[in-house]
Structure 1
Amino acid sequence: MSKYDIALERIDAAHKDDPTTITINTTTLPYELHYAQQMTLYLERLDPNASELLRLAIRAQHLRRWEIPRSSYPATKIGYHSWRGALQREQAALVEKICVESGYTEAEAARIGALVRKADLRKGDPDTQTLEDVACLVFLDDQFDKFEKDLGDEDKIVDILRKTWGKMSEAGRSEALKIKLSERGECVGTEGFGWLSVK
């Protein structure tokens, strides 16, 4: 096996420990493994020639996310950002360790960790932007309808859609317009924001 295959196998093994499951077409699997597979699927659509390092960072985006629950931080904006920061640091450290043990250099592993942390997003790093695009696309395709239903606050949903759209590159937005939301999701997107109306 190549070092890439070894690292990928180890990342997926960590995902398989997720106690939350999802059932799709009678197949049940750990949710974070499903999420990781969706991330890879959208990376293939956006950048089929992506480097190994980006592919591994994409696959590790939610690495052992359940170990630091949102409820462990205050239900405030500051609490949310503190939680996200703690998650990203833990996930980056874990994937760096996995990658070094799989045969990658310290520098390569550090690059993967930086991508997981989205460290250079504001500096215009193209790989970090691709990761952000992919995460937004998976949110819209795989999570948005349930999120909208659970939250039940149209103003907040519209604000989240606006922020999601604002995070994406033109390539990401183009792919987002291909996503089929539920009837309710389409309604919120069209009436509240308007970006879906260009379909």
Structure 2
Amino acid sequence: MSQDRFHDTIAEIDRLNAQDPNMENKDGKSIPKELLYGQRMSTMLLEFDQNASETLKIAARGQHIQRWTIPRDSYPMDRKGYLMWRTELKKIHGKLVSSIMEKYGYPPEDIQHVDYLINKRRLKTDPETQCLEDVVCLVFLKYYFGEFIAKHAEEEEKIIDIIQKTWKKMSDKGHEAALKMGHSDKALELVQKALS
């Protein structure tokens, strides 16, 4: 029963994320952006923590569920606006995933735990919240960092600042995994500058 409800929950998250109108190219195929992101989160979680709990796996897959429904520009385009946008998104992602879990018969404590993880409560003190944050950062560094560097090529200070902020959120285990990744020469140079 447990495996069935787990698979049904993951399938429902994917079904909703497959509605993303924003596409990303992977191996020559166009894939809805948040569907691909959720799959990358699951893959990275399994690489990073083979013993991840069922609730952590659900939180990782649902981390960005239907993210496109609240565009970034619906909030002021400054740091404060960005933080407000992120807070609102986390609440919505938590509620959506909670409603899916409820539909498939998860107990309230599991639902509450996933909402807690998605909202990143007690980062640095809760091991599963920290694990999820590490996975978020690793997915960014592996799949989106190169694109970020290209987009902000003229703003080296901004890139270094983002690396430093990302690094601060991660655990020692996360740092170790990040440094083992195959980065481009440019990315490595920026990481070294940020960490020196």
When the two structures are superposed, what TM-score results if normalisation uses the length of structure 1? 0.93
Listed as ranges, the gaps of 5+ residues in structure 2 are none
Q: Shift of residue 194 of structure 1?
A: 4.0
**Corresponding residue number in structure 2 for 1:129:** 130
**Corresponding residue number in structure 2 for 1:73:** 75
Distance in 2, matches of 1:130 and 1:90, equals 21
- The reply on whether 1:142 has 2:146 as its aligned counterpart is no
Q: Shift of residue 182 of structure 1?
A: 2.3
Structural mapping, 1:79-94, within 5 Å: 79-94=81-96
Structural mapping, 1:56-71, within 5 Å: 56-71=58-73
**Corresponding residue number in structure 2 for 1:51:** 53
CA contact (8 A) 2:164 2:195 kept: no
Aligned letter for 2:119?
Answer: R
Q: Shift of residue 23 of structure 1?
A: 1.6
Distance in 2, matches of 1:97 and 1:107, equals 13
Distance in 1, matches of 2:12 and 2:75, equals 29
**Corresponding residue number in structure 2 for 1:172:** 174
Aligned length: 193
Q: Deviations over 1:157-199 (max 9, x none)?
A: 0011111111111111111011122232222222x2247xxxx
Distance in 2, matches of 1:194 and 1:93, equals 37
Q: Which of 114, 118, 136 is equivalent to 2:120?
A: 118
Distance in 2, matches of 1:171 and 1:186, equals 18
Distance in 1, matches of 2:94 and 2:118, equals 6
Q: Shift of residue 69 of structure 1?
A: 1.0
CA contact (8 A) 2:98 2:112 kept: yes
Structural mapping, 1:102-113, within 5 Å: 102-113=104-115
Distance in 2, matches of 1:82 and 1:43, equals 27
The SS at the match of 1:63 is coil
The SS at the match of 1:2 is helix
**Corresponding residue number in structure 2 for 1:162:** 164
**Corresponding residue number in structure 2 for 1:182:** 184
Q: Deviations over 1:108-127 (max 9, x none)?
A: 111111111112215x0000
Task: State the identity %.
Answer: 38
Listed as ranges, the gaps of 5+ residues in structure 1 are none
Q: Deviations over 1:74-124 (max 9, x none)?
A: 0111111100000000110000000000110122111111111112215x0
RMSD of aligned C-alpha atoms? 1.3
Aligned letter for 2:183?
Answer: L
The ranges of structure 1 where at least 4 consecutive aligned residues each deviate by more than 3 angstroms after the TM superposition are none
Distance in 1, matches of 2:92 and 2:145, equals 25
Q: Deviations over 1:21-53 (max 9, x none)?
A: 112222221111111111111111111111110
